[in-house]
Structure formats: C-alpha cells, structure tokens
Amino acid sequence: MSQYIGRMGKYRILTDRFIPATPLLDTSILTNLYKFIIRHHGGIFVLTGAGVSTESGIPDYRSEGVGLYARSTRRPMSYSDFLKNEANRKRYWARSYVGWSIYREYEPNLTHKILSRMERREKMFHWLVTQNVDALHLKAESLKVTELHGSLHRVVCLTCGCITSREEVQSMIRDLNLEWRGTAGDMAPDGDTTVPQDVVSSFKMLDCPSCGGILKPDIVFFGDNVQRPKVEFISQKLSQSTALLVLGSSLQVYSAYRLILQAKSLQIPIAVVNIGPTRADGIIDMKISGKCSDVFKWLAEKWNIDYLSI
C-alpha cells in the first residue's frame, strides 16, 4: 500500500485507500486524448472533481465501495441544517476543528503537479475550475484556477462577509478551548470527522471577531448555491474555450453538470477521465475510465515532463 507522510510528519495519510479498482488503460484511447489536447492546445477548460484528490488521500462521496456513502451512513452537513440552530453549528465546528489537523496535511499528487507544469510550460489550458475545497491545485502552484465550491482554507462571516484564514480561526478556537480534548475519527471529504456527542457538548464556538456573527467555512454546503458572480465568470471562461476536459468527477452535482450542458449548447467537445460512470456519459465525446494520475503520467512522458522529479 502506497503511503504519504504529511509535511509535518505527524499524520500518516494512505493515498490509495479511497481509490476504486481501475481497468488497464487502452493506449489507443490515451492516444486519442493526446490528439484531443493537441488539437485544442491553449483553449482547454479543465474541470476537476474529487477523483483528482482521492490520490492525495482525501475520500470522495460517491465512489463505489470506497466513497463515504458506501462506507457509512454519514451525510455532510446541509446549509439549511447549519443555519437551523446553534447545536448543529457547534457539532459541525467541533468536528471540523479537530479534523483540520489532518486535512491541512494533504498535499498535491502527480495529477495536480503535472497539470501545473503543463499550464506553465506548455500554456495548454485556458482555465481550470475545481469542485474540490482542498486548495491542492493552488498548493501545486497552478495559476488560472477558480474554486467552484470555495475552500476550507478560508472562513467567512455570514453577517458581515469578513474573510479570515482557516489557520487564524483555528488558533482563536484553540485559545477558547484550552482544556477541551477532541480527537479526529474517520475523515469526510469536507474535512468533517467524528467526535462523540459528550465531547462536543463542552466545545466552545468562535463568533466572528469583527461583528459577532456566524462563522462558516468558505465553501458551498449541500443545498447552498454558488454565488452568481462566480457562476457568470466561469461561464464566460468556458465560452472562450475550445474544449472541455473533465477529470475525476461523476458530474452528479448540478453546479458541475451545467458546465457540460453549456459546452454542449456551444458545441464545445468534451473529454472525461473518471473511474466509473458519470452523469454525462451519454452526451460526451470521449471517455477514459482510469486513474487521473495514470493518464497524466502517460501524457507527461509524451511531453517529456519529468514527473519523477516532481
């Protein structure tokens, strides 16, 4: 089993625990993808999903046998439940607070790094949009990135709109809970973990240091909406592109699937790399069933990108 040791060496992150079994890659299909990328060089809009980050050790929700929904009955906190009462917010923040010590240790894998190299050296991509909230594309130093669903590395006040870094918020929460002892259990894709309710009850929440309002990670919860200016910006970037390349997404979430519908309406060709079926399988132009890193290792060799030194 491959393993990754976080940058602080405190937590051991298993990088293949959440990856489903994958078929052998067909070289002819990989060649077709290579030609697809060459044909649309400089104009490719890339959309990445959880299947890119599972290889860094972050679980996803829907993968067969290994996703959170397959392994447990746990479901993510919805936006309406978060707003409903303080007890729900307290439970969320207690679990997210202890989970952050692990979540912050996740690092980019080869797919993130090769994408960054290809963007910089080959100037191949027009723009990259990620559904993931882990900031791994930014850690890999990709430049043209929009985080569709936000980032766990930031916290927003729902009252005054103030944005604070997650590390700063963690420090303030720690000062409020010097005697509190919570330990992280099984990790969820959004950094949530499991903490016994009797431990949660003594946790002290942090209010916005600017106005006393409700703090929330700067991410789109289930049942929430992507802000209109971001939707319009992404739509504009896609309309300026000549091709759409989807990596590691089942496209079940509508905020991502509508980009497929937009591309189809604009007659923009679509290629998908994903393990397992997607919501768009009947309307896309090309599909490769496999691990993103396997595909990008092959592409890196075609472009003489030394991924072994990354």
- pLDDT band for position 61 (cuts 50, 70, 90): low
CA separation, residue 131 to residues 166, 169, 190, 261 (Å): 19, 23, 11, 16
Query: What's the angle, vertex CA 309, arms to CA 308 and CA 310, rounded to 5?
Result: 95
Q: What is the pLDDT of residue 7?
A: 38
**Top-ranked range on mean pLDDT: pick from 113-122, 174-183, 236-245:** 236-245
Residue range 26-144+153-309 in CATH 3.40.50.10490: no
Q: What is the pLDDT of residue 15?
A: 55
What is the C-alpha separation between 261 and 254, in angstroms, rounded?
Answer: 10
**What residues act catalytically?**
149
Listed in sequence order, the DSSP H helices in the chain are 27-39, 50-53, 68-71, 79-84, 86-103, 110-117, 136-139, 166-176, 197-200, 228-239, 254-265, 292-302
In contact, 294 and 22? CB cutoff 8 Å? yes
Token couple for 44: 């490719």
Q: Is 292 annotated as a binding residue?
A: no
From the list 301, 308, 309, the residue with the least C-alpha distance to 27 is 301
Q: Is 160 annotated as a binding residue?
A: yes
Q: Is 162 annotated as a binding residue?
A: no
Query: Model confidence over 261-297: pLDDT tens digits?
Result: 999 999 999 999 999 899 999 999 999 999 999 999 9
Q: What is the pLDDT of residue 9?
A: 39
Helix, strand, coil share of the chain (percent; to 5): 40, 15, 45
Query: Model confidence over 148-169: pLDDT tens digits?
Result: 999 999 999 999 999 999 999 9
